[in-house]
Amino acid sequence: MTRPHLPRPSLDNFRRKLAAVDALPQLCLLGLVAGLLTGSLMVGFRLLLSAGALGFMPNDNPENFEGLAPWVRALLPLLAVLVIGIVLGRQPLAQRKLGIGHVIERLTYHQGKMPLRGWLNQVVVGVVSVLGGLSAGREGPAIHLGAGASSWIGERLKLPNNSLRVLVACGTAAGISASFNTPIAGVIFAMEVVMMEYTLTGFMPVILASTAGAVVSQIFYGSAPAFAVPSLLLHSLLDLPWVIITALIIGLLAGGFVHLARQQALAARLPWWMRMALVGVATAGVAWWYPQVQGIGYDSLAQLLDSQLALDVLLALVVGKLVLSALCVACGVPIGIIGPVVVAGAAAGALMGMLGGLILPEQASDIALYALLGMAAMMGAVLQAPLAALMALLELTHSPTIILPGMLAVVVAGLTCRQLCRCQGFFISTLTAQGLHPLQQPLMQALSRVAVPAVMERSVVSVARRISRERARALLDSKPVWLVIIRSTPEKPMVALPAADLVRVLMDEHWSEHEELDLLEIPAQRLDLAPIHLQATLSEAYERLLPTNIDALYVEHTTAPMIRKISGIITRDAIESYYRYTP
């Protein structure tokens, strides 16, 4: 009994499978590897933060700014902006872009390829901004490092660019998952905020990556939720109107935060050193009196949920963290904003819970409930990511009983921020303020999911312009679809000729006396060609064809240094046939 012939596993076959839109097994394998790598990096980053706190932070806790003397905690932000200014000040503007917004920009304009220099900058700036007492979170560095590491896997293996996009989403999800022990929120965040699309092909690898990242994190830090929250219930449905009012106010605060962070053009009028100084002095001034605004603020959030913070501290958290974080973004200091936004939202919710208790002491729910609702409402409104906010609320607290009021709060706050304040999501708004357009059209989004090798015609033969009839017959024996005519000089574009037209010429009696054929003179259809790389997506091919008079593209790849091989041809009709419905 003969065994069925199985294709030999090879990297080339793996790349070819990935070029198609339905390469789920291959993408899932990549997602698993990306999740393990990202989870390991996140553990390393958190250990780096802990190591940096040794010696100068009380109890070696990187969040314990309250235990420092006032002059020390005021000096730290000044030192932090000095280090960040030195590290980034002499680098080109493109290399100063870090964090989640940078990941979205690279995904939109560069197919998810992440430069190594920016990746290294993110490590330094992420550690310095958190330990230096700026109002900054660790999720921005987590996502940038995860996306960069996952993209690096694809670039090293020279995988098609459509798979790089999925790898970036895998790194994003694993970064959130490993950093906060929130695997479901990591998946939703990657699809809702970074990829901005939901597809089956994207979901499965991203879920695997998020799971792997969480497993690696739990090996080192355990599986306990980020915050210890008692079981909370809405005391009465009559409390829902106050939940709506709370969400409305938080939506307005979120809109103010986004608008302030967008003032990058206004801040750019100041010299770089003056912008750094402004951030440092403002943070130092507030931190002298209220150190709770420094760092991520999760220690303050834990105290807030236990009702251990005074009224003035809650006000400082709401106003101080929002203003200082927005000021950092506007002045060009690349920080993570999700942590500070979550803490400020929880403080705003707690304040509204206190006020509700004074107005209706019999009906008001627990202050901790309002704090959690404020946390989710602020995150959902700022990011315009309601599902990610709800999943974060569930996983950070392990308290499913608050999902119902949480859904109401997230929707009201999101609508308020979007409709009354005219704000899109934070990252879309800040990128738009820079003149970028991160939202892809549906057609380009669909074409980005497939790489050129999945659609190109592979039956191609390269020929010289003039060939003998005998040579022509020998070429046609391999049954090519296209002949690519190599020109004498690189300045002249290559030309594609259908092999069927050459067959007709050979059978035509009028050409039987010609022993040598000029392929540019015989009666045949000819297409002017331009090059495109084998790793490119259909969206890249479409954009390459769109503004030119080129009829088709020849696909090339490097087989050895300085040696390139033509792998196939892709025409406008081939691209159109991919996205057009044919019964």
Residues 26-62 pLDDT 10s: 999 999 999 999 999 999 998 998 898 887 888 888 8
For the ranges 102-111, 375-384, 432-441, 486-495, the lowest mean pLDDT is seen at: 432-441
8 A C-beta contact, residue 383 and residue 413: no
pLDDT band at 561 (very low <50, low <70, confident <90, very high): low
Higher pLDDT pick, 242 / 360: 242
Pick the residue with more confidence: 197 or 291?
A: 291
Neighbours of 318 (CB within 10 A): 24
DSSP 31: H
- Is the pLDDT reported for residue 307 higher than 90? no
d(CA 178, CA 40): 9
State both tokens at 141: 């560095």
Mean pLDDT value of segment 368-387 = 94
Q: What is the pLDDT of residue 314?
A: 95
Would the pLDDT of 179 be above 90? no
Domain boundaries 237-433, CATH class: mainly alpha
**In the chain, which segments carry CATH 1.10.3080.10?**
12-222, 237-433
pLDDT score, position 181: 84
Q: What is the pLDDT of residue 186?
A: 93
Nearest 5°: the CA angle 167, 171, 172 is 115
Give the pLDDT of residue 560. 63
Extract the tokens encoding 374: 């404020």
Q: What is the pLDDT of residue 9?
A: 64
When the pLDDT of each residue in the chain is averaged and rounded to a whole number, the result is 88
More confident residue, 401 or 161: 161
pLDDT for position 1? 43
CATH classification (class only), 451-579: alpha beta
Separation of first and last alpha carbons in the chain = 41
Residue of 538 and 94 predicted with greater confidence: 538
Give per-residue pLDDT as tens, 180-220.
888 999 999 999 998 888 777 778 999 999 999 999 999 99
> pLDDT at residue 89 above 60?
yes
Question: Is-above-0.75 flag for pTM?
Answer: yes
| Residue ranges of the chain assigned to CATH 3.10.580.10 | 451-579
For 117-120, the CB contacts below 8 A with 24+ separation are 117/91, 118/144, 118/148, 119/144, 119/145, 119/148, 119/149, 119/152
Please check the confidence at residue 583 and state whether its pLDDT lies above 50.
Answer: no
Cβ pair 99, 126 in contact under 8 A: no
CB atoms under 10 Å from CB of 546, counted, come to 9
**pLDDT confidence of residue 218:** 92
Residue whose structure tokens are 């259809």: 525
Beta bridge partners of 558: 564
Confidence band, pLDDT 50/70/90 cuts, at residue 83: very high
Per-residue pLDDT band at 20 (split at 50, 70, 90): confident
Contacts of 97 (CB under 8 A, 6+ apart): 105, 118, 334
> Pick the residue with more confidence: 372 or 446?
372
State the Cα–Cα distance between residues 344 and 341, nearest whole angstrom.
Answer: 5
3-state secondary structure of 138: coil
CATH 1.10.3080.10 fits 12-222, yes or no: yes
